[in-house]
Each structure stands twice: as C-alpha cells, then as structure tokens.
Structure 1
C-alpha cells in the first residue's frame, strides 16, 4: 500500500539482469517497511513505486556503478534511491528482511528455520580512495590495504551475519564482537567452525562468556597451497557468491555501515532468487572435503531453546 494521492506511473520494462522478477517481488514486497503515510505518525505519500527503488538499489549493488550513475529508465533521482538505501539500513529494516529471508530459505530447503551450527571466516579487500584512513588498515598477511569482512554462514552456506572493519587487527580480535552479536541475535547457535586463526584464547573466551563451542579446522599436514577443507569450503563458497556483485569487489564506501549494507543487499538478492527455484535435491554422497559419516543411527542434535546468561563485564570484550 502506497497511499499516494497521485497517479502511479506505469510499470517500467525490466530488462536489466539485476531487476526483480515477479516471483521475487512477491517475496520481497511484504517484507519492506510500511510507507510513512500509513503509520499513525503520518508522512508524505511516496512518489515512486517501491519496486523501481529496489531495482535501482540492486542495479548499483550488482554493477558497481556510482549512485549518480543510476540509469534514467528507473525514473527515480539518484538521491531518492540513496535515501531509501540509507534509511532502510539505519532503521534496521534491512537486517530484519535479511533475517526473515534466511529463515524462509531454510524452511524452503526442508531444514529447521534456525541453525545451531555456523562457519566463520574473513576476507580482506582493497579500499578505494573514498575510504578514509580512520576506517582502513593494512593486512600484513594478505598484503592488502583496506578493510576486512567477517562472515558467518550456516551449514548450507547461506550468510547469517556480516561485519566489516579495518584490515589490520588479527582475526581473533574483531571476532569477539561478532560472536557477541551472534549470541544476542541468534541464541540458538551452539557450535562455530573456523580456521586456526580463530583459535587460542578465543576458544576459551567464547565458551566462558558466550556459551559457544568454537572448533577450528586446521590445514592438512601435507597441504601445499590452496586446498578445499571440511566445513570451511562452505564459507569460501559464500564469499565467492558475494563477490559476483561488482560493488563488493572493492570497498568504495566512506562508512563501514554502508559496506555492510551492500553485502546484505547481495545476500538478500541471493536468497530471494533461491526461494523462486525448487529446493535442491538432498546430497546422496558427502562432499569430497567432508569425511564420510559412519553408517548407523544418526547422532541426535540437541537444540538449546533458552540462551545462557551473558556476563557484561569490561574484561569480557577486551
């Protein structure tokens, strides 16, 4: 409902690959926040169709163009498109849409709507000249000057939470904030898989203060160069999915929150398209990187419904 007192423009022809299909729009439209004019506080009626706004945001995200380069065939000024992008991020509606779509995808695939195990990894990307010195750093391991993305995905590779920060700190340092946020938003999660960079004192900290079991997947002893490892290949695949959007190839955003918003829009597009397709068939054989499971009765999974108490002490987040 747009409650506009002016005639709505005709639906534009959708010829960009990033445009929403009718099936995708049927999924996204109910999740969008209500227009201001329908709320008790009131507001100005919206002039432009929301589907055109969403298509314009997805165009910028998928093609990596500047906001001023939004095509004129959308019929919306670029400042209006950026305004919707910024308001939906600041109000928390973008995070809510992402969370609801994630549950829908899991139900669509025949899984529990909430996952109990996640996989953690990071990715360093170069920062453009628009990224200020105060929000960028140098990753000495990857030799990259820019920002680092920390990604949490479920066991199917669907992104659950993303956090962006400077690239200089060790992975275990910002991982504390990310795991703390994970405990608050997803209290049902019990196990976190990660690489050896997240080991050490972080394992004891996560178990003591958050009640999380952090398990590391080390490199193989005979590994020479890159190799697909168990559990970790799922988050690596998720990183390749978000890199298909050209806006995510480098970090162009002045604000870290805008970088996280672009990553969220990428995953929202990914999940909306997943919901319009039939669910994938169950895998009959394990992945090559996964160890074969023993034949017999499957091990039951215990789901903790009530979150454990969290100690909010100054030393907990040091």
Structure 2
C-alpha cells in the first residue's frame, strides 16, 4: 500500500522543505510511505506538504521497487491518472486504486487500506512524530524508520515471551 500523511512542521523546519497542503489545511511536511500487507514499512519519503502524491510516488516507488520484489500496490484516489501507466511500464507494478462507493459520506476506511492507516496510527503513538521537529527531511525519514524499528522489536519481544 502507498499513502501519504501531512503533519505540521515545527519552526526549526526549513522553509524550503515545508509547504501548505490545501486538502488537509496543514502547513508543514508530508510523509509518503509504502507498507507491506503486514503493515511493515518498505519505504518512506518526506517532502514539503504541497508536493503532490503522484509526483512523490514516482520517486518512492522507484526506490522501493529496486529494493523489494513487488507486483501489486494498492492506493487511494489521489494516485490516479498517468501514474498507473507509469508504474506498469517502468516498474512492472500494477497500481490498483481503491475507491469508495458514492453512497459513503465522511471518513471511511476502505478494504485493504486500513493497513496503511494502522501504520500511521503507530507513527502517531511515537511522540516525536506527532509533529515534524526535524531540520532536514532526511532526519525526518530516519525518525520514521526509528519508530518502525521500535514497533517491530516490541512485536518480536511480545511474541517470544510466554
């Protein structure tokens, strides 16, 4: 699954790496992530919040496709358009768009999309990631990896104690 999350940036974040996400009304940065079906992080990229999902997805999927053997990526409606053909032609990836039906109103977590939403919930449990306090985007990406390492070690320790 691929998705993005906009977070407010602290005053220390450089003005060149922050932007305004008009959809979420957030002034800060955007975390673009790719997770597997277990909700484990495969790749992350932090950009200014005004960066479009499709633009960031081209770069992030390129990084992830080189490191992992992927065949299918689920995404929300923000990833439609020429990105579908781009993924198929360049990375041999099928990008499946999961859309909500017209009858649903408000926030609805769709089939298979709850996995990436649960990942973002795990990130929000890490106090340092509720807001972006990092000066550089590479440091912000490292903090996401750090949070995922903590989550995975907790999960492993829990499964072996007993």
Q: TM-score range by the shorter chain?
A: over 0.9
> Is 2:61 the counterpart of 1:179?
yes
- Distance in 1 (CA, whole Å) between partners of 2:140 and 2:56 is 16
Q: Matches of residues 196-211 of structure 1 in structure 2 within 5 Å?
A: 196-211=77-92
TM-score norm. by structure 1 comes to 0.49
Q: Matches of residues 1-318 of structure 1 in structure 2 within 5 Å?
A: 119-186=1-68, 188-278=69-159
- Structure whose CA Rg is larger: 1
- Distance in 1 (CA, whole Å) between partners of 2:52 and 2:139 is 23
User: What is the total number of aligned residue pairs between the two structures?
Assistant: 160
Please identify runs of 4+ aligned residues in structure 1 that moved more than 6 A.
Answer: none
The answer to whether the Cα contact below 8 Å between 2:7 and 2:30 also exists between their aligned partners in 1 is: yes
- Distance in 1 (CA, whole Å) between partners of 2:66 and 2:39 is 21
- Distance in 2 (CA, whole Å) between partners of 1:149 and 1:218 is 21
The answer to whether the Cα contact below 8 Å between 2:71 and 2:94 also exists between their aligned partners in 1 is: yes
Offset of 1:220 from its aligned partner?
A: 1.9
CA RMSD across the alignment: 1.0
Which of the two has greater strand per residue? 2
- Distance in 2 (CA, whole Å) between partners of 1:140 and 1:177 is 22
Q: SS of the residue aligned with 2:105? A: coil
Question: Which consecutive residues of structure 2, in runs of 5 or more, have no partner in the other structure?
Answer: none
TM-score norm. by structure 2 comes to 0.96
Offset of 1:264 from its aligned partner?
A: 0.6
Offset of 1:169 from its aligned partner?
A: 1.9
- Distance in 2 (CA, whole Å) between partners of 1:122 and 1:134 is 19
Offset of 1:226 from its aligned partner?
A: 0.8
